[in-house]
Amino acid sequence: MQATVSKKVLNSFRKIIKSSDVNRLMEKTSNMHPADIAEIMKDLEFEEAEFIYKNLGEEKASGILVHIEEEMRERILGSLSSKEIAEDLDGLESDDAADVISELPPEQKEEVISHLEDKEQKSDIVNLLSYAEGTAGSLMAKELIRVNHNWTVLKCVKEMRRQVEEIKTVYSVYVVDDNNILLGLLSLKRMLVSPAENKISDIYNPNIISVKTSTLSEEVAQIIEKYDIVVVPVVDEEGHLMGRITIDDVVDVIRKEETEDIHKMGGMQALEDSYSSTSVYSMVKKRGLWLMILFAGEGLTATAMAFFEDQLAKAVVLAFFVPLIISSGGNTGSQATTLITRALALNEISTNDWWKVLKKEVLSGFFLGLGLGLLGFVRVFIWSSFVNIYGDHWALIGITVFISLMGVVMWGNIMGAILPLFLKRMGLDPAVSSAPFVATLVDVTGIIIYFVTATFMLKGILL
Amino acid sequence: MQATVSKKVLNSFRKIIKSSDVNRLMEKTSNMHPADIAEIMKDLEFEEAEFIYKNLGEEKASGILVHIEEEMRERILGSLSSKEIAEDLDGLESDDAADVISELPPEQKEEVISHLEDKEQKSDIVNLLSYAEGTAGSLMAKELIRVNHNWTVLKCVKEMRRQVEEIKTVYSVYVVDDNNILLGLLSLKRMLVSPAENKISDIYNPNIISVKTSTLSEEVAQIIEKYDIVVVPVVDEEGHLMGRITIDDVVDVIRKEETEDIHKMGGMQALEDSYSSTSVYSMVKKRGLWLMILFAGEGLTATAMAFFEDQLAKAVVLAFFVPLIISSGGNTGSQATTLITRALALNEISTNDWWKVLKKEVLSGFFLGLGLGLLGFVRVFIWSSFVNIYGDHWALIGITVFISLMGVVMWGNIMGAILPLFLKRMGLDPAVSSAPFVATLVDVTGIIIYFVTATFMLKGILL
């Protein structure tokens, strides 16, 4: 995520790799975080990165697997046997290991799983792989601390000591009954200050927020954000404790969600993979459909202009301002739709606020239209002082441009603001009302507004 | 964040408020999370929300302060005395309390601080308010567990028991020397499994990732994401442990960052506050400047079209296709710039990849242009079969439209892809290359491509 790696660091690694100096590599990386090594690998050629990966030893290698880019991970895993992959997965938490396995080709998945030596890890991963993508089940990790409500604090500490051996980080201590039904949370604080003979059932906190294995990832993100928590337990339909999700995994969900929204707002279907991993073929597919829809809509501008053929033939000068006027409406509408779509996504406004939004945008649209309209008039005035392009009627043309800009900008602003609210109310994704979509809508009406104004203003004079 | 509150729940609250039934209110909210109460308040009239806030008691009230919307918080705080505010802040963690105080009018800040009863809280907040907005210092909380490297595990547990009294949640245990210099991290795991007489210095982990008080919030977010951690300690320039930042605060930073990017990509300056809290005046200011810049750029389309006045006068039919052709270039460019800007923001690509990007986008542009070009030709063909609008030369016009679309779409795609890379390389924000910005650039060149093609194809025939 951070800025690029310095040339100096890259070169020192290149030198080590060129001389195949494994000892020097081990020494240099011994105190480095896997995420930093992954960052360096990203800037190296694949063969160089592969050399690093294969010579670092299992422990570091597994850390790198998590932090490396999708594309490179795929290539590296492709160069390993199923047994080697299983070994490298050994040091990972169950959710990360399951993620790596889920990306493998179907026939290799089973093979890698069969090579896993740790029986508990194996069954954890098989369980995790059984949940549908995009649900809490597929997002959770199995590693957690679980204590029985009948235990004393002393027994609890002893049991935690045993359980913690197999866990990297303790996020929360969950309290369950004899049937593994989640009852609540034991805060470290309460445990530290309670006498050793106290029963857990007397000190645990039963007000616990949990999600189900079937809860959608986006909802998990919303819940974690809403309640400001860093880890949430996952239960099945009957309430059995199945795993936990930490907020760092949710951050990835948020990033993905935002990327999808941004792609849609750019006037295309969202890519599923990263830009680099997406082929030209699937890129053209994701973009082409929307471009064709927009093209079909924009085709109406040709129809509208053909309708005003007579006016155009009499005063070609009118044609000059068509792009300027309609694009001003499009730009204003693009701003409005961006603002409203984002505010909806952040729940700053809801569809019930449409009246408030409309009032605000009619007012903003008025001032923006006024500004652009004046600018348009001034442009006609200045130009006509130098060249006689608009003839004697420059002022009338200027006023036509002014009125049209006011109308088009206000119209674009209203459409851009209302469209996402309308889509949301219809149960559709407001992000679909992209800048290009609104611009296309506004272009057609913009031409009509412009030519009607012109006909009215210039009738009997130019037309 | 979650879906709207049901009408039934809202009405039951309205009823309680109408009858001023404080007991019933206490009963109903006793098991509710402050975030849920805040959500209900959002959907009520201000006076109703105020009634809830003022009758819930300090403890719940402080929780609500954190979860409530900015606008309502401002209004509620405005109706409280400085002393009341200070009392409600008592239950909050230092970072949340400092956030609330920092939003108060300058003259009230000091007054509220002077009313804080807890001396430690007071000095913590004063310290937090001293850091510049947008830095780790302003983001961190002071509450943390701090142990000395010379202590034994036993002493450490005792001290933790004391420190934990004043802390809500234990995220990490930080190890410092006698001068409060951060040395490392003590994992709960190591503490649980180590004998009571062991010294902390023998068991703590010195490989710790930390940030400085002056580190920018965006960088803190990047570090937390990169290393997949949920909490990061904050040190001053000399390495003294000053506080810690949890990932839930970073999620807000990420959301804000994304919102800024999205606003810029929509062709405007980013709003500083939420949509609802932004006045029409500041909205028009944020949007107007960009609209005027775009207008000035788009003005060149009128110049370009005036340049081709003769052609237009001879064949008015040419004007019909201007919006269709230039907007196709704009739409394609908008997709490309969205894709590349987002990929840059996620560090999926860097400016060094410009050659790879260019190759990919030339190819995508070719296929998209081919598709739209054929569509354009077919449109002219079908239309000319019904109306004699294009005369005998419909095929030539169709071919002109086809070639122009291919050229404009490819050109738009290349510009849209290269512009964000260029801006980034220049040290500017790539998000500035918004859809409207690229569309404006492409419109002018689109007109030139179209009329040059037309002149070439139709010379001596229509022109």
Of A189, A295, A347, the CB nearest to B328: A295
Residue B17, helix vs strand vs coil? helix
Adjacent-strand bridge partners of A246? A231
Residue B169, helix vs strand vs coil? coil
Q: Which residues of B touch A68 (CB under 8 A)?
A: none
Altogether, the residues listed in chain B come to a count of 463
What are the angstrom distances between the C-alpha of B427 and each of B351, B418, B431?
11, 14, 12
Adjacent-strand bridge partners of B243? B234
Architecture in CATH for domain B145-255: Roll (3.10)
Instruction: Give residues with Cβ within 8 angstroms of B436, minimum separation 6.
Output: A327, A330, A331, A334, A335, A435, B266, B267, B290, B294
Of A227, A323, A436, the CB nearest to B447: A323
Instruction: Give residues with Cβ within 8 angstroms of A179, minimum separation 6.
Output: A240
Q: Which residues of A touch B321 (CB under 8 A)?
A: 302
Residue B83, helix vs strand vs coil? helix
Give per-residue pLDDT as tens, B402-437. 999 999 999 999 999 999 999 999 989 898 888 889
Residue B176, helix vs strand vs coil? strand
Q: How far does Cα A210 stand from its chain's mean position?
A: 24
Of B291, B319, B323, the CB nearest to A332: B291
Q: Which residues of A touch B312 (CB under 8 A)?
A: 316, 319
Residue A20 to residue A18: CA distance in whole angstroms: 5
What is the signed CA dihedral for B415, B418, B419, B425, rounded to 10 degrees?
-160
What is the signed CA dihedral for A247, A250, A251, A256, rounded to 10 degrees?
180
- The pLDDT, as a whole number, for residue B392 is 76
CB contact (8 A) between residue A339 and residue B375: no
The tokens describing B81, both together, are 């005395």
Residue B95 to residue B99: CA distance in whole angstroms: 6
Q: Return the HEC string of chain A.
A: CCCCCCHHHHHHHHHHHHCCCHHHHHHHHCCCCHHHHHHHHHCCCHHHHHHHHHCCCHHHHHHHHHHCCHHHHHHHHHCCCHHHHHHHHCCCCHHHHHHHHHCCCHHHHHHHHHHCCCHHHHHHHHHHHCCCCCEHHHHCECCCEEEECCCEHHHHHHHHHHHHCCCCCCCCEEEECCCCEEEEEECHHHHHHCCCCCEHHHHCECCCCCEECCCEHHHHHHHHHHCCCCEEEEECCCCEEEEEEEHHHHHHHHHHHHHHHHHHHCCCCCCCCCCCCCCHHHHHHHHHHHHHHHHHHHHHHHHHHHHCHHHHHHCCHHHHCHHHHHHHHHHHHHHHHHHHHHHHHCCCCCHHHHHHHHHHHHHHHHHHHHHHHHHHHHHHHHHHHHCCCCHHHHHHHHHHHHHHHHHHHHHHHHHHHHHHHHHHHCCCCHHHCCHHHHHHHHHHHHHHHHHHHHHHHHCCCCC
The residues spanned by each domain of chain B are 17-129, 145-255, 280-458
CATH 3.40.430.10 fits B17-129, yes or no: no
Chains A & B: contacts with CB separation below 8 Å: 382
With CA atoms as reference, the chain A residue closest to B191 would be A161
Give per-residue pLDDT as tens, B136-171. 999 999 999 999 999 999 999 888 888 887 777 778
Strands (E), B187-230: 211-212
CB contact (8 A) between residue B372 and residue A192: no
Q: Are strands A241-246 and B182-186 parallel, antiparallel or unpaired?
A: unpaired
Full pLDDT tens readout for chain A, 463 residues: 344 678 888 899 999 999 999 999 998 888 889 999 998 998 888 999 999 999 988 778 888 998 888 888 989 999 999 999 999 998 888 999 999 999 899 889 999 999 998 888 899 999 999 999 899 999 999 999 999 999 999 999 888 888 887 777 778 899 999 999 999 999 887 888 888 899 999 999 998 999 999 999 999 998 998 898 889 999 999 999 999 999 888 888 888 888 999 999 888 889 888 888 889 999 999 999 999 999 999 999 999 998 999 889 888 889 999 999 999 999 999 999 999 999 998 888 889 889 999 999 999 999 999 999 999 999 999 888 887 766 778 889 999 999 999 999 999 999 999 999 999 999 898 988 888 899 999 999 999 999 999 999 988 777 7
**Closest Cα in chain B, distance from residue A461 (Å):** 18
CATH 1.25.60.10 fits A7-130, yes or no: yes
Residue B228, helix vs strand vs coil? coil
Q: Are strands B231-235 and B211-212 parallel, antiparallel or unpaired?
A: parallel
Q: Of A132, A317, A7, A95, which Cα lies nearest the Cα of B309? A: A317
CB contact (8 A) between residue B295 and residue A324: yes
Q: Which residues of B touch A292 (CB under 8 A)?
A: 371-372, 375
Residue B453 to residue B436: CA distance in whole angstroms: 25
Fold (topology level) of A280-458: Tetracycline Repressor; domain 2 (1.10.357)
Helical H segments across B165-196, by residue range: 188-193
CB contact (8 A) between residue A443 and residue B327: yes
Q: Which residues of A touch B367 (CB under 8 A)?
A: 280, 284, 288
Tell me the whole-structure pTM to 2 decimals.
Answer: 0.83
Of B254, B280, B290, the CB nearest to A364: B280
Q: Are strands A241-246 and A231-235 parallel, antiparallel or unpaired?
A: antiparallel
Of the options 3.60.15.10, 3.40.50.620, 3.10.580.10, 3.50.50.60, the CATH number for the domain spanning A145-251: 3.10.580.10
Q: Which residues of B touch A295 (CB under 8 A)?
A: 324, 328, 331, 372, 375-376
CB contact (8 A) between residue A323 and residue B302: yes
- Backbone torsions φ then ψ of B143, nearest 5 degrees: -70, 120
With CA atoms as reference, the chain A residue closest to B387 would be A306
**Using 50, 70 and 90 to split pLDDT, how confident is the model at B4?**
low
B244, B232 Cβ separation under 8 angstroms: yes
